[in-house]
Chain A
Amino acid sequence: MFARTKRFLSKRSVISVVIMGFITGVIFWGGFNTALEITNTEEFCISCHEMKENVYVEYRQTIHYQNRTGVRATCPDCHVPKEWTHKMIRKIEASREVFHKILGTIDTPKKFRDYRLTMAKSEWRRMKKADSRECRNCHEYGSMDYSMQSRRASPQHIAGFKEGKTCIDCHKGIAHKMPDTKALTPEERKEFNLN
């Protein structure tokens, strides 16, 4: 076995093997990254009608779509982590979403409505676990000037951050319509800071 490998290596010099490996690596890595980038655009997110006709329409009415500063938060800004490892984990989880797309789990407005709480819950949990990392990519409480915030915002923020609350604890339904939360158990209401 070892001898055969040695013969192979001596036949084609080690250098050329290394170079070939390097080039294929670059090509595959490039292709992989390109695919990742394509699936990380708003166009991709709303290329299916489930997203385009439900959440996207709602999102277009909100401040993250259009505001005075002209900075737009797109779907992946809130739903896909920026750092590589977290991004990979989220991308692998997304295979479940592809599976449900094929099953047609939410392919009618009614099905979407019925399944909405389940989806929202998983997104709330994900954001809470990560201390609302995606919000903080753009909004950082360390950079907030409380004196410039509205009278309702600043006391809530000061008290909330002291208690260890995170953005999603208080800011639900900021980009989409809220789901029907009546079905939540009291424990879940507490978990999600809903009264």
Chain B
Amino acid sequence: MRAYIMKNKVVLTIALTFFMLGSTTNTLAEDTPSATTKTETTSTEKVSKEAPDVAKKSEQEKAPEPKKVKVMTKPIEKTVYDFSGVNSLRGNNGLKEMALPTKSKQLPADRAPIERNYFQQPPLVPHRVREYQITINNNKCLACHSWKTYQKSGATKISQTHFEDREGNAQSTVAARRYFCNQCHVPQVDAKPLVENEFKPVDDLK
């Protein structure tokens, strides 16, 4: 094998150049979405016994998998699928590819208080709450919104109703059913509703 390569060094080099040239032009040409499933392997260097043949064939159709001797670069596979207009959330990418990152909705760090839409709506959180721990030991929200701290921090004070258990008995601490603030109070991203909402609050609340 080694001797063979040494002997045909020139031929192999030319073949390899052609092969790479061929696959590059192929990638460039493949831009229009095709109706059928098409798989292409680009920039793979496969040196094989019938290398000159591969160079010729790869320009048109896939050659039968040649015996790999040396792979210099990782093969980049690009598959384009056509689902006739029905696409998954990942877009029309094959399973082997990474989906393009979606445009994520940004949570603003701080914003003005968000108006309420209806009577007794839990107010929405006008700031980021990432990593705010609400555990058995610690309630980060209450570090600012508790009666002890709200004045110093300039936050809205926790409602007195939150100290009542479900029978209406007053408790000395926040009632268990109100402890997990983010069950009702959540931050908002600036997202368009998926379904149009025609809800209107009653006039007296406007």
Contact = CB atoms under 8 A, between A and B. Distances in A.
Contact of B137 (A152, A177, A195): A177
Contacts of B109: 150-151
Interface residues of A, number: 15
Contacts of B146: 195
26 contacts: A61-B131, A62-B131, A63-B130, A63-B131, A150-B110, A150-B128, A151-B110, A151-B127, A152-B110, A152-B127, A152-B144, A173-B140, A177-B133, A177-B137, A177-B138, A178-B133, A178-B135, A178-B137, A178-B138, A179-B137, A180-B136, A180-B137, A182-B137, A195-B143, A195-B146, A195-B149
Interface string B126-162: 0110110101111010011010110001000000000
Interface string A62-88: 110000000000000000000000000
A173 B133 contact: yes
Interface of B: 109-110, 127-128, 130-131, 133, 135-138, 140, 143-144, 146, 148-149, 153
A181 interface: yes
Nearest to A172: B138
Given A152-B110, A195-B149, A177 B135 contact: yes
Given A150-B110, A178-B137, A195 B148 contact: yes
Contacts of A179: 137
A60 to B, nearest CB: 12
Interface of A: 61-63, 150-152, 173-174, 177-182, 195
A179 B137 CA distance: 6
Contacts of B140: 173
Secondary structure at chain A's binding surface: helix, strand, loop or mixed? loop
A181 B143 CA distance: 13
Nearest to A182: B137
Contacts of B138: 173, 177-178, 181
Nearest to B132: A173
Contacts of B136: 180
B67 to A, nearest CB: 40
Given A150-B128, A178-B133, 18 more contacts: A61-B131, A63-B131, A150-B110, A150-B127, A151-B109, A152-B110, A152-B153, A173-B133, A173-B140, A174-B131, A177-B133, A177-B138, A178-B135, A178-B138, A179-B137, A195-B146, A195-B148, A195-B149
Contacts of B144: 152
A39 to B, nearest CB: 29
Residue of B110, B146, B148, B149 with most chain A CB atoms under a 10 A cut-off:
B110
